[in-house]
Structure formats: structure tokens, C-alpha cells
Amino acid sequence: MIFFINSIMQENKSGIEFAQLKRIELFNDHNVDYRLVVRDWNPRLHPTTRAADVPDRNLINMFEYFQNAMAIEDHPQHLADLDFGVLDTHVEEEATRFLVYTTDNRLVARVNVSGDDKVVFSTELFDGFGNLYRVDYYDTRGFRSLEQWYTPDNKIGTEVWLDPDGHAVIEKFYRKSVHEEDGLVASGWRLTDRTDGKTYMFDTIEELTVRFLDDLNDEYWSLEHPNVFVLDRGHVADWGLLHLRRPAYTVNHLHNAHASGQDPMAPVVNNNYEFTLSAIDDYDAIVSSTHKQSADVDKRFHPRAKLFTIPVGVVPDELLHAPRILESKRTFGKMVVFARIAPEKQLDQLTAAFAIAHNKFPEATLDLYGYEDATNKFEAKRKVEAVIKKNHLEDAVTFKGYTTDVDTAENNAMLYGLTSNMEGFNLAIMEAIAHGLIPISYDVNYGPNEITEDHVNGRVVPYGDVKAFGQAMIDILQDKKLAQQYSTAAYDSAERYSEDNVWAAWQELLDDADGVWPAKLTAAHFEG
């Protein structure tokens, strides 16, 4: 079995989640089975994965695995389904919750609901003195999944995950930290295995995760083919995959630059990959999304682990073969960006560069698609707004919000801009060239400076050079022949990311896994 490991899969997805979903489409198209493994607990996981076309049978969540709740029927809970163990209660309704009272108006519970049909997602329970003592969370499929028990000083003291029959399966304990300002900290985990009736203790969630991965490895074990674990989000199991009880083929996927800044040899590495890079020889394979990063990893670390270059994006065949739109049919001067309005995207710099071109071409416009990062009170958006105000761009720059209708936006536009401080591939710029947009990008590792070929399908300007970015935009807008040349080359270059080409790269990795399996089995036999 092939496992794709992440911590989350939420409605507002990051690049890693989008990359996993693109990969899943590819594996589905080639009839290769997989399991999407999501480690962290989320009571709303299934509506999100189903909406992303991941059926329940292909999804494994660690908590649900131990709860024996991976495949259950949907029975959403409503107020009438709840029993608080108190007679003759009465209810008051508010906008998104119900308040449950005793006959003498003491609060029994707050029932929090969602949607027009008022499905219960949590209940807050109070004792006879009005103290909150427990909060229960309900899985969207309808069972009580998590109990949070509160201490007298209103802190979570214990968390208990239940199976659909209400039996405690996983417990998380807290204790006072030696540093008083830290309050309560996690002190341990207890797993009650319903299959063998035994209880197991773990100091950390990492240790619990190893137990989970061992169980998966055992459950899908085969002498013919290894289980392939592809780790997409390092902190979930970078240590765990190296401590499996039985052998498997372990893959660590680098979704971002491995070093801080633009120097691949810089002494400070990306903290998300610090453990991975220190233990790189213990994995079977390391995957990078670009040839440039694979070469840099090889040059810096000389790993024994095999290096593979596999783009995280795929341009579907229907898009590759769609009718091409000429520059003369596009909105002149329209630049689009698909990115979170977040600090690392540096969209204030992109807006400042756009302002330079707008001074020469007042008809130029910039559309920013993406949800807003709330960090530091939406600092990233406020910086963009300041540039807009300073340069009087209120009628030229528009925050469009998040959209899934990429085709309409990109088939109408002319240019795509990127000013990130770090990337691992950037799906958006790949989609842009597939729509014939002309990319203008900072020379940023990794992805943008490989997907964009300077003076071929677009422009790559020195990192952080706002003036050069603005001038590149001017150069394109004032030369219609050059613009069409770049657009045609952009369409052509998207072929690199076709389904056939990306699948061939994955097939090479899967073939390698099968190729090393006899040796790994033999080694495991002698070690055991």
C-alpha cells in the first residue's frame, strides 16, 4: 500500500494539501491504490475530504483508526438526540446554540450547532454550581468523539477520545509545568486497544504515532511489495518513520526550500526539515519538486537515500489540449495572482512593482485571489493596502478573495506575478503557464525560477528587485510581438507537467521501492 502522510486536511488548504490532492487524482487515473493518512484529530475531516473527492475508504485518520470509526454511517446529532441526565429541562435558543436550563433556571448545558438543520458539533456541560466541567465534541457523522474534562481553575486537565459506542480509547493527560507561566502541559497518552484489551502508555504523540504507523505497516504487509510511506508534512512522522518495527519503503517529500533564504548552502536550514536533513541517510528516498533542488540537496548532503525529482503539480490533459487564447483576446495589462495574502508572499512588493508599470500603462490592473492570513492582525493585507493608497491604485488593484474558478480568471488575464521569499514548487505559477499567462517572478528557490524560463516563457528578475520587476512588466506590455512569443512558450512549457510525465516520475520511485524490497526483507530477517 502507498500512504500519503499529512497532519491535516482542512477547507482552506495550503500548497501541501493541494499537492496531495493533485497526486491522488494522478494515482486514481492510473488505478493505483493509496491511502491518505491524516494524523491530527478533526471532527470535520470527512466533509472536507469528501468534497475533495477522497472517499472514506481511502482515508485513514490516526484517532479514527484507534476509535474504530473510519467507516461508519452518517447520523448527525440534533438537540432532541441528547440526554443530559436532568429531568424537566427547558431550552432557550440563540443564533448558533441552545441553552439548556433546569426548572429553577440553573444552566445545564450550552449546545453549539451549525447549519440550517442545526447539527450539534459541541456541548458545554455545567455542574450544579455553574462551573464548566466538560466539553464534548461531535464528529460530523454523528458520534461523540472527544471529551475535554476541565479542572476547577477552568483548564483542560484530561482529553478522552471515544469509539462510536462511547468507550474510552485514547486519553491525553496534562500536568502543571515547572514554568508557572506555561500553565498545564501534556504529560502522556494512554491507548486502550479494543482488539487485545491491553492498555499502552506513551510519553508523546510522536510515540503514539509510531504505534499507529506500525499497525498500518502490519495491516497492509505484503511479501511481494513494500508499503510505501510518503511523508508530506515532516513534523508528523519524520522521526516515526525511522523507528518502524518492520521494514517499509520510507520517502520524505521536501515541499519547500531546505535552506533558509536563497542560498542552498546556507548554514541555517529550514526548521521544518531540520530532523529530516540530519537523518537523511536513514530514509529510502528524498523527493524534491524541481531538478534544481534535487541537485542542491545532492551537492550539500551527499545522501545515501535516493533522490527523485517529481513535480507536485500536474497539468491535466484537457487543459494541455484546450484551445489556446491569443494575447489579442485577453484583457491588456491584467495581472493575476493566486496566493494567500500572507507575509511570505510579499504581495506588497508585487503591488509596488505593479505601480511602476501602471504609471506607464494606466489601463493595467492587478487582481489578487486568495484568502487573507490573519497573522499580526492581517499585517500582510494592510501592507498591500498601504502601497495601494500611496500609489493611488484603488481602481487598479482588487482583492478578489478565494476562488476555485481559475480558468475564467486566467483565460482573461495576460500576466502572472510572484514575489515570494521562498517556495517549494508553486502550483499557481504552473497553472498560470498552462493557461498561457506570462509569468514574471523573483529569482526565488524553488520552482518559480525553474517553471519560469527567463526570456523564453516569461521573466525572472533578481530577488527583491522591485524596479526590475516593474520594468519587466513594462517591457512585455510595450511589445505585443514579445508578449505573444512568451505566451506561446508558456503554453508549450506546460507539457513538462503533463500527466504522463509526472506519472513516469512516480513510477520510477515505485519501481525502486519494489527493486530494494528483497534486500530489505533479507536484512530484516537477519536482524530479527
pLDDT, tens digit, 9 for 90 and up, residues 188-224: 999 998 788 899 999 999 999 999 999 999 999 998 9
**Cell numbers standing for residue 211:** 504505534
3-state per-residue secondary structure call for 378-444: HHHHHHHHHHHHHCCCCCCEEEEECCCCHHHHHHHCCEEEECCCCCCCCHHHHHHHHCCCEEEEECC
The separation between CA 11 and the C-alpha centre of its own chain, rounded to angstroms, equals 10
Residue 33 falls inside a structural domain: yes
Q: How confident is the model at residue 260 (pLDDT cuts 50, 70, 90)?
A: confident
pLDDT for position 194: 76
- How far apart, in whole angstroms, are the C-alpha atoms of residue 378 and residue 348? 13
Span 275-290, average pLDDT? 95
Contact residues for 238 (Cβ-Cβ < 8 A; gap 6+): 231, 252, 275, 276, 279
- Single residue among 172, 204, 236 that ends a domain in this structure: 204
Total count of domains within the chain: 3
Same-domain check for residues 165 and 214: no
Judgement on whether residues 62 and 83 belong to the same structural domain of the protein: no
**pLDDT over 70 at 86, yes or no:** yes
Within this chain, do residues 338 and 485 fall inside the same structural domain, yes or no?
A: yes
Is the pTM here over 0.85, yes or no? yes
Cα separation, 148 vs 134, whole angstroms? 5
The reply to whether 200 and 211 lie within a common domain is: no
Q: How far apart are CA 288 and CA 270, in angstroms?
A: 14
Checking if the pLDDT of 524 tops 70, the result is no
What is the band of 527 on the pLDDT scale with cuts at 50, 70, 90?
A: low
Mapping DSSP to helix (H, G, I), strand (E, B) and coil, where does residue 189 land? strand
Expressed as residue numbers, the domain containing 409 is 317-496
56 & 138 share domain: no
The DSSP bridge pattern shows strands 285-288 and 249-253 to be parallel
Q: What is the pLDDT of residue 470?
A: 98
Lowest average pLDDT, out of 11-20, 102-111, 389-398, goes to 11-20
The last residue of a domain, from among 176, 204, 232: 204
Q: How does residue 422 score in pLDDT terms, banded at 50, 70 and 90?
A: confident
The residue among 460, 433, 428 whose CA lies nearest residue 445 is 460
Kindly report which listed range (6-15, 126-135, 158-167, 321-330) carries the lowest average pLDDT score: 6-15
Q: Are residues 100 and 175 in the same domain?
A: yes
* Distance (Å, whole) CA 247 – CA 45: 30
486 and 360 inside one domain: yes
Edge-to-edge strand ranges of the sheet holding 438-442: 397-401, 365-369, 334-338, 415-418, 438-442, 459-461
Question: Between these two residues, 523 and 172, which has the higher pLDDT value?
Answer: 172
Q: Which of 256, 278, 309 is the last residue of a domain?
A: 309
Let me know whether 250 and 186 are in one domain: no
Q: What is the pLDDT of residue 372?
A: 92
Are 239 and 264 members of one domain? yes
Q: Looking at the structure, do residues 332 and 305 belong to the same domain, yes or no?
A: no
In a domain? residue 135: yes
pLDDT at 179: 77
**If you average pLDDT over residues 89-105, what whole number do you get?**
95
Dist. CA 234–CA 236, nearest whole Å? 5
Confidence of residue 471 (pLDDT cuts 50, 70, 90): very high
* Same domain (yes/no): 305, 339: no
Q: Which pLDDT does position 526 carry in this prediction?
A: 52
**Do 269 and 277 touch, CB atoms closer than 8 A?**
yes
387: region left, alpha or beta (phi > 0 left; psi from -120 to 50 alpha) = alpha
Q: What is the pLDDT of residue 519?
A: 79
Rounded mean pLDDT, 397-416 = 94
Q: Considering the domain boundaries, does residue 322 fall inside one?
A: yes
Summarize pLDDT for 434-457 with one digit per residue, the tens: 999 999 999 998 999 999 999 999
Indicate if the pLDDT at residue 484 is higher than 90.
Answer: yes
Residues 104, 176, single domain; the answer is: yes
- Give the CATH number of the domain where residue 52 resides: 3.40.50.2000
The whole-chain average pLDDT of the chain stands at: 94
Q: Return phi, psi of residue 81, to 5°.
A: -85, -10
CA–CA separation, 422 vs 447, rounded Å?
9
Would the pLDDT of 7 be above 90?
yes
What value does the mean pLDDT take over residues 30-48? 97
